[in-house]
Amino acid sequence: MMMRLTVTQLNEIKALQQAVEKHDGIELKLNWDMLENRSDAEQTDFMAYDSGRLVGFLGLYSFGSKIEVCGMVHPNYRRKGIFSGLFRESIPAMGKAVKILLNVPADSVSGKAWLETVNCTFEESEYMMKWDGEALPDSGGSVRLRPSLPEDIGMKVQLDIVCFDFKAEEALAYNGRLEKDGFQKEFYMIEAEGKTVGKMRIHRDGEGSGIYGFAVLPEFQGKGYGRKALQEAVRVETSRGQRVYLDVQPENEKALSLYTSIGFIKESQQDYYLYSN
């Protein structure tokens, strides 16, 4: 049973992703921050080989009681039942999930064709955005980003509950797993008015920096703290030569407006379908 991915396996997945994206003209969301930090306690990745060559991959990504599924098959090996086989193999590993979402790039013809073979309904879309703006101002000290500490776990759990609709036990389990898998070093707490008012996670992968889990407590929203914190994060990352990315649901008009006003533009779109077994 495969658990934590080896360096060789990660390189094989990266090569397959590049081949698929180039052939299909799409951008896959394989959550590399999670792929590189898998747990030894559970099976989340399923792979198909032909003569020692990786030709198919499926990954499971857990967010509380929700699991997202994303994968790919090499263009030369499609319509052979490879992905369907990987999906069937992965189903037992999804046993505790309350919601299973199948993630397919909006422009993926082969992905949308596969969806027609399973029982699923459209759930939501998500924009993948990149920063392409002008130089951003310093926050002036009114808002500060500081590295997260172990004692911040309570605030991170609270933010996931009030901002992302997690149940308490889901938020505890989710944050516990993130810390266990080594993501503690990527978290930053947002401070304003001498208090901790929010959080974000910055994952650096090569020359790209992804911003995740960006949240501000409701009672501190509307004061410009979120804008200043995001501007500060972008300013610091771009000063290091990094490209900055984030995701947003298009119906979240408030967040989308904030991101575009700072200089983020839509790069691609992911669609999610609710699976019913």
Q: 228-272, pLDDT tens digit by residue?
A: 999 999 999 999 999 999 999 999 999 999 999 999 999 999 999
pLDDT of amino acid 132: 96
Domain 7-118: assigned CATH number? 3.40.630.30
* DSSP codes of every residue in 174-197: HHHHHHHTT-GGGEEEEEETTEEE
pLDDT of amino acid 42: 83
**In the CATH scheme, what architecture does the domain 131-268 have?**
3-Layer(aba) Sandwich (3.40)
pLDDT of amino acid 4: 84
Of 12-26, 134-148, 214-228, 251-265, the range with the lowest mean pLDDT is 134-148
Q: Where are the domains of the chain?
A: 7-118, 131-268
Q: What is the mean pLDDT of residues 29-43?
A: 88
pLDDT of amino acid 14: 98
pLDDT of amino acid 138: 80
From 268, 277, 246, 267, select the one nearest 111 (Cα to Cα): 268
**Would you say the CATH fold of 131-268 matches that of 7-118?**
yes
For residue 136, count CB atoms less than 10 angstroms from its CB and return exposed for 0-12, middle for 13-18, buried for 19 or more: buried
pLDDT at 223 over 50: yes
pLDDT of amino acid 1: 47
For residue 177, count CB atoms less than 10 angstroms from its CB and return exposed for 0-12, middle for 13-18, buried for 19 or more: middle
Confidence bin at 2 (pLDDT 50/70/90): low
Q: What is the mean pLDDT of residues 187-206?
A: 95
Rounded to the nearest integer, the mean pLDDT of the chain is 94
Asked if 184 and 178 count as a contact pair (C-beta separation under 8 A), the reply is yes
Q: What is the mean pLDDT of residues 66-80?
A: 97
Q: 124-135, pLDDT tens digit by residue?
A: 999 999 999 888
Q: What is the mean pLDDT of residues 185-197?
A: 95
Q: What is the mean pLDDT of residues 71-81?
A: 98
